Structure 1
Amino acid sequence: MSNGPAGHGARSTVCPNCETSRRTPMRTFLHTADGVSIDSVYNPGAVVYDGSPSPSRGLVFVVAHGFTGDVDRPHVRRVASVLARHGAVVTFSFRGHGASGGRSTVGDREVLDLAAAVEWARGLGHAHVVTVGFSMGGSVVLRHAALYPGVDAVVSVSAPARWYYRGTAPMRRLHWLVTRPEGRMVGRYGFRTRIHHREWNPVPLSPVEAVPRIAPTPLLIVHGDRDGYFPLDHPRMLAAAAGEHAELWLEPGMGHAEHAVDEDLLSRIGDWAAARAGRPDGLA
């Protein structure tokens, strides 16, 4: 595995009096604390500076995808490409997804995958780390921030507040996919997702239990008012549990997770993170 990015791009043609440095993207396999290999991609983005640090210099986003996603899915790459305008980006495939090893535990052991990706991002020299998670990944970034303090800000998009929710048809289908042998076969061959057959034991800390432990780290909770998986009581419950250190954005017309976020929303998320990362008071 490479020890860090190398190489520099040409001088910017957009800003003649500024220097633009682009380091080389890389792809590698990380190894989690429990020995699972995690397919991971680093996009250094473009750093533009005129001798003084820009607001996003040193910032890296670590993106945690939703269930059945992976680093090569178009919707995950789209998220990464927009966030790369604000800083560097690390994406990875959770265990059991894509080329990563192991089997999915649907949000439990995945916190170790995120921990490995955050550690890698810091090892690449980034001073400020912001985790951004979607759906299952949204629950993982909340639990990670509660269990592994030290990230500079957290963004959770379309996350559940509580486990075992079956109140919508998509969630009932997801529970069939996870709990039934024939469902897990569909997951393996239809969605490239290998799902562990064992039930949680013990049951992990729930998202709504995790959010109070994140303070004072800035937290952004984003949810669409047309989310077909988790209705609006989920983000409202998370925001209420988080208290004053969290912001809640309820997005009109937005559906669920990466497929539903548009470029404008991703840009606003990038601006929010760049304004808060590294600020001890969490204020823009």
Structure 2
Amino acid sequence: MFKFANVRHPRPSLKRLLWGSLGTGAGVVVGAAAGIIGVGLYIVDTLTRPKHLAAFALYTFSPFELGLPAEDVSFPSLHNDHVVNGWYIPHAEATSTIIVSPGYRSTKTDVLGLCALLWKAGHNILVFEYYGHGTVVGMPVTLGYREINDFLGAVAYARKRSPEARLGVVGYSMGAAVSIMGTARSPEIQALVADSAFATHRSVVEYAVSRTLHLPFVIFDWATDLILWWRAGYHFNQVEPLRDIGRITPRPIMLIHGMKDSIVDPHDAALLYKAAGEPKELWLAPDVEHCGVYFSDRAEYVRLLTEFFDLYLKKSPPVQVEITSNELTDSIHNGSYPLIS
């Protein structure tokens, strides 16, 4: 059997205990701060990182396969700092043009099926890709802050192609959020359908963090917002469709959302609907994922959109909306409309 020697150990002084505790506490604080910053960097990097397509990624359907008389078109963004690509599909008898706005890192091909059906219903169609999100890739993107300028470029192009046509918009996910912000400052748009839109930039990031890390986003909020400004040049509160949607009235809005959405919190649809003015419609589809309402019931989806645009773009008289220079100035100052200067 082993026997321990009888060794006397000196008692640590109060000073040594105090400094040791402070050192340990400082290490914990530094480690926690580093972890928070690391998560913030990961969020912003994931959000804005350039994407590179595989060589065969463009081997997909086009208007040719659907027999659509589409034209490859390009137009400048609002500030003419890059070119936006799209398809324009003219209809000989159309008195209206519908702009189709795809989502985050989505291509115009992703929404081509709906474009074909709306064209058959008698509308001109302009579908485009947000710069850096679709077939033109390899540069950083944002979640609506810069993309709103592509949307406003699309509105200007649609007006140029058919000046007398009344304008409607269908947007998906980020494209829906951008469409809300863009419609709020584009009086020429007469009707809007927003499918799976987020209420605020912060809310969609918070939802993703809570579902993946199972931690409250408040822990990472301030650091992530600061890193977003440092890396991408804007803050969360500069992309808030919830703040802008009330400005669209009296033009009609239809909001669509799947109640099993794992990307955008379905509660955002209720917030947007509450903030919107009349006329407004809300379609909440149970057991449906992000941007999946069309696929859950194609016939009903197309019927409702066709009736919506027939009513507000063909049968109802045009709605007159004026946006004063003071309103635009105020919106610039509060961050509501990014990159407008």
Question: Paired residue for 1:124?
Answer: 161
3-state SS in 2 of match to 1:164: helix
Q: Match of 2:74, as an amino acid?
A: F
Structure possessing the higher radius of gyration over alpha carbons: 2
CA distance in 2, matches of 1:215, 1:135: 21
Picking from 63, 74, 79, the partner of 1:29 is 74
Q: Match of 1:155, as an amino acid?
A: V
**Residue 88 (structure 1) shift:** 1.7
Picking from 71, 85, 91, the partner of 1:39 is 85
The percentage of aligned residue pairs carrying the same residue is: 23
**Residue 226 (structure 1) shift:** 1.8
Picking from 108, 115, 127, the partner of 1:80 is 115
Q: Match of 2:150, as an amino acid?
A: D
**Residue 42 (structure 1) shift:** 0.7
**Residue 251 (structure 1) shift:** 2.0
Q: Match of 2:113, as an amino acid?
A: R
- On the 8 A contact 1:23/1:44 being kept in 2, the answer is no
Question: Paired residue for 1:112?
Answer: 149
Question: Paired residue for 1:161?
Answer: 199
**Residue 148 (structure 1) shift:** 2.2
**Residue 58 (structure 1) shift:** 1.1
Trace 1:43-192 onto structure 2 (pairs within 5 A): 43-45=89-91, 47=93, 57-72=94-109, 75-86=110-121, 87-100=123-136, 103-125=140-162, 126-165=164-203, 166-168=206-208
3-state SS in 2 of match to 1:156: strand
Structure 1 residues 214-223 or 96-105, which shifts more? 96-105
More helix by share: 2
**TM-score, reference length from structure 1:** 0.72
**Residue 154 (structure 1) shift:** 0.8
Structure 1 residues 200-209 or 133-142, which shifts more? 200-209
**Residue 141 (structure 1) shift:** 0.6
Question: Paired residue for 2:294?
Answer: 261
Runs of 4+ that moved beyond 4 A: 168-173
**TM-score, reference length from structure 2:** 0.61
Question: Paired residue for 1:222?
Answer: 256
- On the 8 A contact 1:169/1:229 being kept in 2, the answer is no
CA distance in 2, matches of 1:230, 1:85: 31
3-state SS in 1 of match to 2:85: strand
CA distance in 2, matches of 1:107, 1:147: 15
Q: Match of 1:30, as an amino acid?
A: F
- On the 8 A contact 1:155/1:220 being kept in 2, the answer is yes
**Residue 152 (structure 1) shift:** 0.9
Q: Match of 2:72, as an amino acid?
A: R
Trace 1:178-257 onto structure 2 (pairs within 5 A): 197-201=231-235, 203-257=237-291
Aligned length: 231
3-state SS in 2 of match to 1:249: strand
Task: Show structure 1 runs of 5+ residues with no match.
Answer: 1-21, 48-56, 181-195
Structure 1 residues 76-85 or 148-157, which shifts more? 76-85
